[in-house]
Structure 1
Amino acid sequence: METQITTGQATVDDIKIENDAIADGNISQPAYRQQPHNLEAEQALLGAILVNNEAAQKVQDFLTPDHFYEPVHGRIFDSVLKLMDKNQIADPVKLKPYFDHDEALADVGGASYLVRLAASAATIINAEDYGRTIYDLAIRRHLINIGEEMVLDAYDAPIDEEASEQISSAEKRLFDLAEMGQAESGVVSFSKALRMAVDNVETAFKDPDSLSGVDTGLKSLNEKIGGMHGSDLVILAGRPAMGKTSLATNIGFNAAKKHADDIAAGVNPEDSKGAVVCFFSLEMSSDQLAARILSDRANLHYEKKHSDDYIQSHKMRQGKLTQDQFIAISRAAIELEEVPLFIDDTPGLSIAALRTRCRRLKRQHGLGMIIVDYLQLLRGSAKAGGSENRVQEISEITRGLKGLAKELHVPVIALSQLSRQVESRENKRPMLSDLRESGSIEQDADMVMFVYREEYYKEKDQPSEGSPEHDTWRAEMESLYGKAEIVIGKQRHGPVGNIQVAFDKSVTRFSDLAPEDHLPEMME
């Protein structure tokens, strides 16, 4: 009995029959598929550049040597740019010594190929169109490569890797492709990094407020840190009731309001000192956070009848408002409608899901700042379960947030709780060692800020009325009333120290503290 060898669903005999049919011409053989490219466009563009180097200036902002399908074309383009950087004319004669021994160029005629390129030149007017064609085809090739890698990764995924992680990885590669035109940013020459650094210095020098980052809305804080900088992970920490959520909300709203005002004034979005902000509120609901901001802004439209007459968010929820207060709230709501502030109150959000949502906002709305309230409520990849691996999970989260800041080139402000050991010592001013799981948080952070209100602790130490200590306590309380400190415990790019600010707990608002010698004079 003859035995058949099977491969999948087809037998060897079936394959032989099919091959015979293809040889007889009865079945069409699948055509070989090449990745999309246009060698003629590459030749025409290089020819135009060799004839007139000004053509390179039309495409060098978006086109790189890696975008050329033919590697030798990429090397020619790179050599042209290097000669132009030296203020030299790049033509076939100048380039000939660099390509005399190029093996790839020898296959198409050697250095004389450069002359043939110049002969087939497109006009300088068409140079940008040819460049865009080459760029678009390069993006398509990158897209094909990403798709193939996604398929292979899905087939060969390790047993302990979740599908959500693969989705996040694929989305990152697609996002990078959409933002930068290639799947990986690659290495950057020192000269290019130096130019970017000088541009940042020039921007700060020309700015009247000397800001190189996003405006926090607090002049005293801006002077200390220069604003919130892209790619930085900022940890904002404090014990409960210190006001860290309020400070983060103030900074986020001020940045979004500044961005809206700049756009309304006709400022280029890239030149704005504000930012489109996304606030991930894992503790408070979105309407509670919005109510806080609304009550704060409404008080600016409301003329108080007495010193304690505030529009407070809890009164708004209870409906305990006067007609004038309701009108002020309505005016504030109209003012806030155009502020580019997004709130996500999804509980138990994972770091992978947070990355996905931020990439989408960056692509759709030009996201410029991320705030997470608070870090310990985020989830890791769920590989490390149990309390013994909590430190490992926090390390993964902080690394993920730092990576997100660099990837999107935006500041990420992550709130963090402090350990209870603060309460057990006499001096309750926070320190870096008070951070929970401080090893990873302190290490990954570019800046660590603490919120500290001595008034809060002094209020708890109230002695009995009528005692000799009570007068001293009252005098100290008066000196501390409405004051808070922002303690800069770590800053990679600047000094550390304390900043005195004002805090109005009635409306949860931080503001600059007026110097004592600039207080308004009392009316007689």
Structure 2
Amino acid sequence: MSVFDEALDIPAQQLDESPDAVSVSAETAVLGACMMATGGYDPIPGAAQILSDSDSDDSDWYRPNHETIWRAILALHARSKPTGVPMVEAELRRSGDLKRVGGFVELSLIAAQACTSVEVEHYAEIVHGYARLRRYQQTLVRGMQTARQSDPASVTDAIATHQAELEHLAADQSGDDGLFCRFGDGLQEHLDGLETTVEAAAVTGLTDLDQALKMRPGNVIVVAGRPAMGKSAMTLGVALANASSGRTTLVHSLEMGRQEVTNRVLSSKSRVALHHLMEGGSAVTDDDWTRIARRLTDLEALPLWMDYTPRVTPGLVRTRIKSLIRQTGQAPLVVIDYVQLMYTDQRNSRQSPYERVSEVSRELKIIAEETGAVIICCAQLNRGSEHREGKRPQTSDLRDSGQLEQDASGIILLHREDAYDPESSRAGESDLILSKNRNGPTCTITVAHQFHYSRLRDMTAEAE
């Protein structure tokens, strides 16, 4: 007998050997109690907090007629109506489902098997537990089917897809997990915590930006700009600065391959002209080799992980983050270059770019909050700024999805006057327009761009 069987406290001879029979008994107990609710004690909100939404694909109910009855109970409850057997019968009759669930007789039999109101959440946990077990079994079956149909070239993708499903299943969202509580609960602990200075979860290496942005665990930061504004140079520089501070860092490079990224890192840290490294051979001088040699030991020791996988999904990002947390004990800073190139885990070919980017944005926000990681996403802007006086970008220029603006804790827009006017008096300067900042002020920070070294620097920084 399983732990769920013992929890039900039903004589063994009354139980079928299958777990589904136990699930059905628990479902009946929950529904019966909800149809016996009184004004003094209403068990429906507690059960609804635990059980998956009836309208979702992952309903917790094993029997379809039980799900139909539950949906009728929720509909009545939402209208502040009683949920007794006569009212549930009337609601089912109105929706045309009464005959399908067994009529008044079946409703009466279910009500007769009700558990007590104080036990409803306990029984709802049993229903939810068996539903998760069924989903786990289904996921394993799909994994075996995918394995049989996969060829050697697609093994990595097949494993990543299966792993993403398992990660999603493991991240169970039922119950409030302490998220629903009185404001005063834990207030004193919060006040005690204010006596300790909170360190930023990640650093950018740009002094003024670090002071204004103050990245926290769970933040999603969007770095956006038109092509050739320096998004990759900036975010790769942030990754290097963060890793140089001893913090775990992960870069998903969707736009550039291993060779190009490696050359940019070597150029930035060694102060070797990027075009020397790109050309290779005799273009790399003896002085260049000396500069690289000085930095090589430090670069090899960086807690910096690179992922050049061309098809990156939120599920893969979650997998990489959790792997690094297990390996280092630290939630990483994650750089994604860039977000409009990502795929969704569902691989729905009929999704529009807007729908795809919106889904990716929502999932990345959830991943950041679940894991405590800071995620920095590069994003492209549309051509709106090209037709604007001064060419300065705005948040509304974000391409493909306003969801990026909604989900982001901070948005940094990159702008260079010398990109449009090579004779500008501000040649060599980049503006980091902090147009959204939940952790501090919105402002514009000016830095120096050194694209021959593939990096951005503080205006007052000494040569390094």
Specify the TM-score bucket, using the shorter chain as the normaliser.
0.5 to 0.7
Pair 151,321 (structure 1): closer, same or farther in 2 beyond 3 Å: same
Structure 2 SS opposite 1:423: helix
Alignment partner of 1:421 out of 355, 365, 384 = 384
After TM superposition, give the deviation of residue 355 of structure 1 in Å. Answer: 2.1
In 1: Cα distance, 2:191 partner to 2:300 partner: 37
In 1: Cα distance, 2:185 partner to 2:333 partner: 25
Contact 1:448 1:489 in 2 (8 A): yes
Q: Does residue 257 of structure 2 align to residue 298 of structure 1?
A: no
In 2: Cα distance, 1:35 partner to 1:328 partner: 65
Alignment-mate amino acid for residue 239 of structure 1: R
Quote the residue 2:434 is aligned against. 488
Q: Does residue 350 of structure 2 align to residue 362 of structure 1?
A: no
Alignment-mate amino acid for residue 221 of structure 2: V
Residues 49-74 of structure 1: CA distance to partner in whole angstroms, max 9, x if unpaired? xxxxxxxxxxxxxxxxxxxxxxxxxx
Quote the residue 2:235 is aligned against. 248
After TM superposition, give the deviation of residue 391 of structure 1 in Å. Answer: 0.9
Quote the residue 2:202 is aligned against. 214
Alignment partner of 1:285 out of 250, 253, 257 = 257
Residues 432-484 of structure 1: CA distance to partner in whole angstroms, max 9, x if unpaired? 1100124211111111111111121111xxxxxxxxxxxxx5xxx3x312211
Structure 2 SS opposite 1:337: helix
Alignment partner of 2:136 out of 150, 156, 178 = 150
After TM superposition, give the deviation of residue 197 of structure 1 in Å. Answer: 5.0
Residues 162-208 of structure 1: CA distance to partner in whole angstroms, max 9, x if unpaired? 9976642422454x69xxxx997712444566467556644437xxx
More RCO (CA 8 Å, sep 6+): 2
TM norm structure 1? 0.56
Pair 410,323 (structure 1): closer, same or farther in 2 beyond 3 Å: same
Alignment-mate amino acid for residue 312 of structure 1: A
Contact 1:201 1:212 in 2 (8 A): no
Structure 1 SS opposite 2:332: strand
Contact 2:274 2:452 in 1 (8 A): no
In 2: Cα distance, 1:324 partner to 1:286 partner: 24
Contact 1:432 1:438 in 2 (8 A): no
In 2: Cα distance, 1:258 partner to 1:349 partner: 27
Quote the residue 1:510 is aligned against. 456
Pair 195,331 (structure 1): closer, same or farther in 2 beyond 3 Å: farther
Equivalenced residue count is: 326
- Which consecutive residues of structure 2, in runs of 5 or more, have no partner in the other structure? 7-115, 117-127, 144-156
Structure 1 SS opposite 2:177: coil
Contact 1:232 1:411 in 2 (8 A): yes
In 2: Cα distance, 1:200 partner to 1:215 partner: 22
In 2: Cα distance, 1:501 partner to 1:167 partner: 41
Structure 2 SS opposite 1:361: helix
- Residues 363-442 of structure 1 correspond to what in structure 2 (within 5 A)? 363-365=326-328, 366-382=330-346, 384-386=348-350, 389-442=352-405
Quote the residue 1:225 is aligned against. 213
In 2: Cα distance, 1:450 partner to 1:339 partner: 28
- Which consecutive residues of structure 1, in runs of 5 or more, have no partner in the other structure? 1-31, 38-102, 104-141, 206-210, 260-274, 300-310, 460-472
Contact 1:384 1:392 in 2 (8 A): no
- Residues 13-92 of structure 1 correspond to what in structure 2 (within 5 A)? 32-34=1-3
Residues 223-263 of structure 1: CA distance to partner in whole angstroms, max 9, x if unpaired? 1122x21101111100111101111011111011001xxxx
Contact 1:349 1:379 in 2 (8 A): yes
Task: Say what the alpha-carbon RMSD is for the aligned residues.
Answer: 3.5
In 1: Cα distance, 2:196 partner to 2:189 partner: 11
In 2: Cα distance, 1:219 partner to 1:192 partner: 37
Alignment-mate amino acid for residue 485 of structure 1: D
Pair 493,333 (structure 1): closer, same or farther in 2 beyond 3 Å: same
Contact 2:450 2:456 in 1 (8 A): yes
TM norm structure 2? 0.62
In 2: Cα distance, 1:217 partner to 1:196 partner: 32
Contact 2:344 2:360 in 1 (8 A): yes
Contact 2:434 2:444 in 1 (8 A): yes
Residues 278-309 of structure 1: CA distance to partner in whole angstroms, max 9, x if unpaired? 1000000123212211122112xxxxxxxxxx
Q: Does residue 421 of structure 2 align to residue 458 of structure 1?
A: yes
Pair 213,357 (structure 1): closer, same or farther in 2 beyond 3 Å: closer
